[in-house]
Amino acid sequence: MSSHFPISAEEGKMGLVQWLKGQFLCHLVICYGFLVSGLLVNLLQICTLPLWPINKQLARRINCKLGYCLTSQSVALLEWWSGTEVVLYTDPENYRLYGKENAIVVLNHNFEIDFLCGWTFCDIFGVLGASKCLAKKELSYLPVIGWMWYFLEMVFIKRKWEEDKRNFVQSLQNLRDYPENFWFLLHCEGTRFTEEKHQVSMEVAEKKGLPKLKHHLLPRTKGFWVAVQNLRGTVAAVYCCTLNFRNNETPTLLGVLNGEKYHPDLYVRRIPLESIPEDEAECSAWLHKLYQEKDKFQEDYSQTGCFPGPKVTPPRRSWALINWLGWTCLLLYPLCLLLVQLVKSGSILTILATVGFCAAVSVGVRWMIGQTEIKRSSSYGVPLNNK
C-alpha cells in the first residue's frame, strides 16, 4: 500500500544519495582509485628496499605510513561511505591504554567484514599502519593488499605446522624491535565459521572432552602459545575481542560498497600478558577456557542484543577521509583528461582500450572482494584430518 505522506526534501536527498551509492559508475571510480593508488603504494614500497639495510627503523616507519594510505581507504569506505559506526564495549580504565601499547588481539572469525571492522578500530586508536595478522599464505598473493603486507612484516602461514614453525618464530622475533605500536591479530579458529566446519570441530571437542561451543570453532592453540612466548616483553596484553552485529546482520564487503550501513558491536577485555601461562599445555587449556567465555558472551548477545560493560561509540577520525579524498582527486584528474582526449579523438581503438581497462578494474576488484566471501572459504578444517 502506498503512503499518503509526501516525502520531505531531506528524505528525497537521502534517497538520491543512497541511489548514487548503488551505481556501478560510483563503484568503478572507487575501485579505480583503490587499485591505482594501491599500485603506486606498492611501487613506493619497492623504492624503500635500498633503505632497509641502511636504516631499517626508518624504512619500517615509511612503510607504515604507506600502508596507512592504502588500508585507510577501506576504513573510509566503511565509516564515511556506508556510514557504519563501530561500537565498543570495554572497561574505561583499559580504553586509555588502547593504541599506546603493543597487543595480541584474539578475535572471532564469523563475518566477511571482520577484518574491516578490525582495521577501523586500529584507525581509531592510531595503529592502523602498523597492524599485523597471522594470515594464511594465500593472502600474500593478493594484488596490492598482499604485496603491501609483505613490506609491513605481516606473518603468513601455510597452516601446516612443520613447514611453518621456523618462519613463524623468526617473523615474531623480528617484531621485537618494531618502531611503532602494533596490534597482532590472531583468529585462533584458523578459518571462517561455517556450519560444516563447526560440526567437524565439535567432533574434535567431544573427542578431547572439551565443552562444545555454539558460536565458535574449536580454537587451534599452537599459534597462540608460540605468539605469546615469542612476544613476551614486547607485547603488554592480549585483547580478547568478541564481535557481533545487531539485528542478526550478515554484512558483506559488496554491501559496504553499495553504501549499506551496518551495526557492529565489539566487546574487548584486556588481559595482561603476565597472567597467561608459559607452559604449552596450560596455555592451551587457558585459551580453550577463553573461547568458552567468548561463546557465553555471544550467546548472551544473541538473547539481549548487547555485551557486558559500558559502551562507547568512538568518534571516527578525519584522516582516513582526507587521505581517500586526496587520492581520488589526484587520480581522477588524469582520468578525466584521458576521457576528454578520448572523446575528442573519436578513435574506436582508444575507446575499446578504455572500456577494456574499466572492465579489467571492475573484474579485478570483484575478484578481490570474492576473497572475503565465506562461500569461497577454504576447505581447511574439513575433513577432520585436514591441516
Ligand X SMILES: CC/C=C\C/C=C\C/C=C\C/C=C\C/C=C\C/C=C\CCC(=O)SCCNC(=O)CCNC(=O)[C@H](O)C(C)(C)COP(=O)(O)OP(=O)(O)OC[C@H]1O[C@@H](n2cnc3c(N)ncnc32)[C@H](O)[C@@H]1OP(=O)(O)O
List interacting residues with ligand X (CB under 6 A): 98, 105, 107, 115, 118-119, 121-122, 131, 133-136, 139, 157, 159, 161, 183, 185-188, 190, 200-201, 204, 218, 220-224, 239, 241, 268, 381, 384, 387
Binding segment toward ligand TJR, per CB under 6 A, in 27-35, 201-209, 295-303, 331-339: 27-35
Please choose, from the candidates 8, 6, 14, the residue with its C-alpha nearest in 3D space to the C-alpha of residue 259. Answer: 14
CA distances from 144 to 37, 43, 182, 191, 380 (A): 9, 10, 21, 22, 25
The residue among 21 and 252 lying less far from ligand X, judged by its C-beta, is 252
Q: What share of the chain is helix, strand, coil (3-state, %, to 5)?
A: 55, 10, 30
Tell me how far apart the alpha carbons of residues 193 and 215 are, in angstroms, rounded to a whole number: 8
Tell me how far apart the alpha carbons of residues 81 and 31 are, in angstroms, rounded to a whole number: 13
Residues in a beta bridge with 103: 183, 237
Please choose, from the candidates 60, 44, 41, the residue with its C-alpha nearest in 3D space to the C-alpha of residue 52. Answer: 60
Grid coordinates representing 188 are: 585462533
Write down the least CB distance from residue 114 to ligand X, Å: 8
Residues in a beta bridge with 186: 106
Write down the least CB distance from residue 343 to ligand X, Å: 40
Write down the least CB distance from residue 347 to ligand TJR, Å: 31
Phi and psi, residue 2, nearest 5°: -80, 150
The residue among 74 and 131 lying less far from ligand TJR, judged by its C-beta, is 74
252 binds, among ligand TJR, ligand X, none (CB under 5 to 8 A by kind): none
The residue among 122 and 331 lying less far from ligand X, judged by its C-beta, is 122
Order of all β-strands in the sheet with 132-136: 155-157, 132-136, 183-186, 103-107, 237-245, 264-272, 87-90, 311-312
Tell me how far apart the alpha carbons of residues 106 and 93 are, in angstroms, rounded to a whole number: 20
Write down the least CB distance from residue 355 to ligand TJR, Å: 20
One of 36, 48, 87, 136 touching ligand TJR (CB under 6 A) = 136
Write down the least CB distance from residue 266 to ligand X, Å: 6
Write down the least CB distance from residue 74 to ligand TJR, Å: 4
Grid coordinates representing 386 are: 585436514
Phi and psi, residue 231, nearest 5°: -105, 10
Asked if residue 324 lies in contact with residue 34, where contact means CB atoms within 8 angstroms, the answer is no
Phi and psi, residue 135, nearest 5°: -115, 155
Binding-residue pattern over the window 358 to 387 for ligand TJR, x denoting contact by CB under 6 A: -------x--xx-xx----xx-x-------
134 binds, among ligand X, ligand TJR, none (CB under 5 to 8 A by kind): ligand X
Q: Does 115 bind ligand TJR (CB under 6 A)?
A: yes
Give the number of other Cβ atoms within 10 Å of residue 200's Cβ: 19
Write down the least CB distance from residue 375 to ligand X, Å: 17
105 binds, among ligand TJR, ligand X, none (CB under 5 to 8 A by kind): ligand X
Write down the least CB distance from residue 244 to ligand X, Å: 13
Please choose, from the candidates 240, 134, 232, the residue with its C-alpha nearest in 3D space to the C-alpha of residue 191. Answer: 134
Q: Which residue is nearest to ligand X (CB)?
A: 223
Write down the least CB distance from residue 208 to ligand X, Å: 6
Binding segment toward ligand TJR, per CB under 6 A, in 30-38, 45-53, 226-234, 287-295: 30-38
157 binds, among ligand X, ligand TJR, none (CB under 5 to 8 A by kind): ligand X
The residue among 285 and 369 lying less far from ligand TJR, judged by its C-beta, is 369
**Residues between 182 and 201 that touch ligand TJR (CB under 6 A):** 187, 191-192
Site for ligand TJR, rule CB under 6 A: 30-31, 34, 73-74, 77, 115, 136, 139, 142, 145, 187, 191-192, 365, 368-369, 371-372, 377-378, 380
